[in-house]
Amino acid sequence: MADIAFLLLVFFMVSTVFRAETGLKVIIPQAEAAKKIPTKNLTHVWIAMNGIVSIDDALITKDKVSPIMNRKRQINPDIIVSVRCDKSTNYGLVEDVFDQFVEASVLKISLATTKKRG
């Protein structure tokens, strides 16, 4: 019994990842073709309905995204950005953030969605 408990204990201790960021409260869109994305090299960017962006738990305006992402890319050139954007955000605002990514040469993007069951 104790052996099993210890085994489980070690498993959970090793697999636990404490959430480092809280981000913004957003309702991400649904997609049927959503695939699991690898967490390696992943960094999160939250976009709220009003266009406020959150990176590393810091609230910033859209035009400040590029310098931050540029710094992140220099630290890790294989960076993948997971965009967690509210589903009701106007696309124009989202596009401005994408332009900032292009400006910073951060090109691998993952649009975070929840899986829609057919």
Using CB under 8 A, list all residues that contact other proteins.
1-2, 5-6, 8-9, 12-13, 15-19, 29-37, 39, 42, 80, 82, 85-92, 94-95, 98, 101-103, 105, 107-116
Question: C-beta of 19: minimal distance to other proteins in Å?
Answer: 6
Q: Give Dmax over CA atoms of the chain in angstroms.
A: 58
Partners of 54 in the β-ladder: 46, 59
The residue (of 57 and 95) whose beta carbon lies closer to other proteins is 95
The residue (of 60 and 94) whose beta carbon lies closer to other proteins is 94
CB 83 within 8 A of CB 43: no
| Contacting residues for 56 by C-beta, under 8 A, at least 6 apart | 21, 68
Question: C-beta of 58: minimal distance to other proteins in Å?
Answer: 21
The residue (of 13 and 75) whose beta carbon lies closer to other proteins is 13
112 closest CA partner among 80, 70, 79: 80
CB 27 within 8 A of CB 66: no
The residue (of 18 and 61) whose beta carbon lies closer to other proteins is 18
